[in-house]
Amino acid sequence: EAEVAQSPRYKITEKSQAVAFWCDPISGHATLYWYRQILGQGPELLVQFQDESVVDDSQLPKDRFSAERLKGVDSTLKIQPAELGDSAMYLCASSLSLGLGEETQYFGPGTRLLVL
Amino acid sequence: AQKVTQAQTEISVVEKEDVTLDCVYETRDTTYYLFWYKQPPSGELVFLIRRNSFDEQNEISGRYSWNFQKSTSSFNFTITASQVVDSAVYFCALSEPDNNAGNMLTFGGGTRLMVKP
């Protein structure tokens, strides 16, 4: 069964350092999402892509976060510089298309980030 | 604005008991979609079910069943004869059609289910 791949699974960094997370969606899925999940809460959308274009990044803290999906397949989420409050699980998801709310999103295993 | 509330933050049951996880949502749209996901300790979110606002039929899948009631804006999830492997955090989520926001899921805070042997 096709899955969303993410790496690394765990990342420990010191504040003010740069970190990057990678995601490879299910083959053929045009839409890719990055979510942040703080411990004890539900995931919150950071950014979504349709192919290589950003559809919505209104919740992405653009002063320190950036995301790209250059060839419309895999994607990278970067934080620079990392802050203590960035400690969370970063989840990547993909869906077949953008749709109008009906598309099912399939999630990867996530990257657990700890900022010291 | 859309909102999902899962009032039960944690539930503990003994194996073989039935358990119901509550989900209440708020939306201004007449067309919307509701989802349930399971998050085991390993971390990934596993898709369980999708329901659109025009389909109020209840659904059963093995030990899992879902009760959708538009009159009370609820989409509750029942596990029959619970098993230890059902222990996880369960999330209810809502999606509305929005040409500007694409396919954004709004999640509830989750319910942690612990099934004891």
- Label residue B76 by pLDDT band (50, 70, 90): very high
- Label residue B79 by pLDDT band (50, 70, 90): very high
- Give the rounded percent of residues in chain A with a pLDDT score beyond 70: 98
d(CA B9, CA B93): 15
CB-based contact B45 A43, cutoff 8 Å? yes
Residue of B nearest to A47 (CA): B104
Q: What is the 3-state secondary structure (H, E, C) of A10-48?
A: EEEECCCCCEEEEEECCCCCCEEEEEEECCCCCCEEEEE
Q: For residues B78-86, give the mean pLDDT.
A: 97
- Residue A105 is classified by DSSP as P
Do residues B33 and B95 lie in contact, with contact meaning Cβ atoms separated by under 8 Å?
yes
Query: How close A37 comes to chain B (CA, Å)?
Result: 10
Q: Does A98 touch chain B (CB under 8 A)?
A: yes
Residues paired with B60 in a beta bridge: B65
pLDDT for B99 beyond 60: no
- Residue from B5, B23, B105, B111 to probe the interface with A (highest A Cβ count within 10 Å): B105
